[in-house]
Amino acid sequence: MRKLNQAMMTIAAASLLTAAPLWADGTAAVFASSQTTSDAALNDVIKKSLDQLSSLLPYMKELPVQTVKLTEDSSTVVITRTPEKAKLPEMTIFLKKTGEIESFSLENDVDDKDKKLSLEDQKKKAEAFLTAAHQKGLVECSLEELQYNETASKSLKGAMFTRVINGLPVEQKKVSVYLDAAGNVVDFSNEASLNGKSDPSKFPSPSEALSPEQAKQALTKMMKPFYRLVGPDKTPTLVYQVAGSGYMDAKTGSWVDTEHAKFKSFTGEFFFDVPVAPSKQPLTARSKEEAAAILQKVLGFDLTGAAFSEQNTSVLGKSYKEYRWTKDKESYLVTVDPTSGQVSSAGLDTDEDAVQPPASSKISLEDAKKAAVQLVQPFLDSDTKTVVLETRMYNEPQGHYNFQVYPATNGIPFAEKSYHVSINSETGKPIRLVGPSVDDKVALPDPKNAISAEQAMQEYLKHHPLQLTYFYPVKNSKKADQPVLVYKAQINPDVPEYVDAMTGKIVSR
């Protein structure tokens, strides 16, 4: 959410003709007597943009009461428009200092969600609005520089467009337009501008990309088998799924490192066939004392002087009992099955921002892997012989070693039986362990009759074809200034991204 200066002034639309600036700066409104040349110039830009926008949106004339603010960093002007004697409808407009629209939305008490225009009508009216807005200087890119995204439009029930450069879409440069049943544009978002940060002449040339066949071969190497619970009945199924960030460097065929990976499964580095020696019985805690022993002896926490509490909780319809100790603003917890006492999670409650990023990482990845295996062993089923480790570098807590640990059968990881383990990168000690969503043992398909990864890829690409696009990687919450050229499998809202390894068919939802 944008941070706004607290000071503001409410004015009638007619006051746009005055010489006073339209926004509040710092802690007090800036009046004509203190107006600078830059104030007057910005005042003119705001007035012109609002006049131009009002000519495209007739309903703005019914909203004469106006509030103007600057964002805290003074980079954006925020205008709110309402009727004279009512709170609604209320329109909020975000304007760049150049006068370009970042976004606007109209909040109304009229519920017409079931009376939407058809997608085709929305597209036509959205294109007409974008054309006029560009001609009036309200939007930097022209309609010819945008590509209509039919799949996203169907999914989001609006008109979605993507910026195009060198004939290719630019992943994060998008425009969205929503219309009401009467055809009025009531919600608009413009993220398509380059803002002077990206130089199109320096974008990688599409000619530098691997051929589609070469990209397919590279992607096939990343098609891995997993056991998953599929469908409403949670049927144990052997599937093939692409393991990676979702963005393949189109020049090298390797995955692009980006924080977007945290929103997908199977995006880290995998370590297969890691031997383990579980206890004869999974770890349990049926009392405060047994739970405390796990935190102290297994994870190494000191609970001296900590305040204790316990409660019954429920997550996704499943009941748990929680033992919690709190001291010095830190919480340590153990959650167990209330009937069997089997432990499902233990460690520091990182939801409370208790774990800070380290000043430096003193522990090697190899040592962190050993610590993760040692921590998870007492929690595994007794017949588990090997596990698969996956690094999850963008998961919380940031800056520490995070692993997804999958019990393996036939050397194949079981996704829903995985454990999330965090190891402190400065000390090498455990931070927490979160157990699987499934405890029951299930029969798993024998992989001897499975199709090959090449066959799975053929089926996968029928439903998720590769698209060449530009993409801005994100690291440390900062988007890169220049994009990279990537291949990305197109999202298909009708089917998930995995193939049944026994039937050779894409898995249905």
pLDDT at 38: 61
| Alpha carbon of residue 18 to chain centroid | 44
Average pLDDT over residues 452-481: 95
Contact 282, 342 (CB under 8 A): yes
Locate 213 and state its tokens: 């066949």
| Model confidence at 25: pLDDT above 90 | no
pLDDT at 355: 63
Assign 3-state DSSP to the chain and report helix, strand, coil percentages, each to 5.
25, 35, 40
Locate 460 and state its tokens: 């996968």
Angle between helices 453-463 and 212-220 in degrees, nearest 10:
120
Contact 399, 477 (CB under 8 A): no
313 forms bridges with which residues in the sheet?
320
Contact 94, 78 (CB under 8 A): yes
d(CA 293, CA 299) in angstroms, rounded, equals: 9
The pLDDT tens digits of the residues spanning 122-152 come to 999 999 999 999 999 999 999 999 999 998 9
Burial (CB < 10 A; 0-12, 13-18, 19+), residue 261, is buried
d(CA 471, CA 446) in angstroms, rounded, equals: 39
The pLDDT tens digits of the residues spanning 406-459 come to 999 999 999 999 999 999 999 999 999 999 877 778 999 999 999 999 999 999
How big is the CA angle at 406 (ends 291 and 220), to the nearest 5 degrees?
Answer: 160
Residues comprising the chain, all counted: 509
d(CA 440, CA 318) in angstroms, rounded, equals: 13
User: Would residue 76 be called left, alpha or beta, if left means φ above 0 and alpha means ψ between -120 and 50 degrees?
Assistant: beta
**Which residue type occupies 24?**
A
Locate 137 and state its tokens: 């200087």
d(CA 255, CA 268) in angstroms, rounded, equals: 10
Confidence category of residue 32, pLDDT binned at 50, 70, 90:
very low
Query: Which stretches of 375-480 are assigned E, i.e. beta strand?
Result: 386-391, 401-409, 412-413, 419-423, 430-434, 466-471, 474-475, 478-479
Which residue bears the tokens 């919450």? 477
Query: Which stretches of 349-400 are assigned E, i.e. beta strand?
Result: 386-391
Confidence category of residue 194, pLDDT binned at 50, 70, 90:
confident
d(CA 254, CA 103) in angstroms, rounded, equals: 36
Confidence category of residue 477, pLDDT binned at 50, 70, 90:
confident
Side-chain-facing half-sphere of 421: CA atoms under 13 Å: 29
Strands 484-489 and 466-471: antiparallel
Instruction: Please give the residue that has the higher pLDDT: either 53 or 508.
Output: 53
Contact 158, 187 (CB under 8 A): yes
d(CA 321, CA 298) in angstroms, rounded, equals: 19
| Model confidence at 10: pLDDT above 60 | no
- R_g (Cα) of the chain, nearest Å: 28
3-state SS, residue 102? strand
Average pLDDT over residues 210-214: 98
Contact 6, 16 (CB under 8 A): no
pLDDT at 39: 66
d(CA 167, CA 54) in angstroms, rounded, equals: 33
391 forms bridges with which residues in the sheet?
403
Confidence category of residue 196, pLDDT binned at 50, 70, 90:
low
3-state SS, residue 345? strand
Instruction: Please give the residue that has the higher pLDDT: either 293 or 263.
Output: 293
The pLDDT tens digits of the residues spanning 321-363 come to 999 999 988 899 999 999 999 999 999 986 545 566 666 778 9
Contact 175, 191 (CB under 8 A): yes
The mean-pLDDT minimum among 2-6, 117-121, 365-369 falls in: 2-6
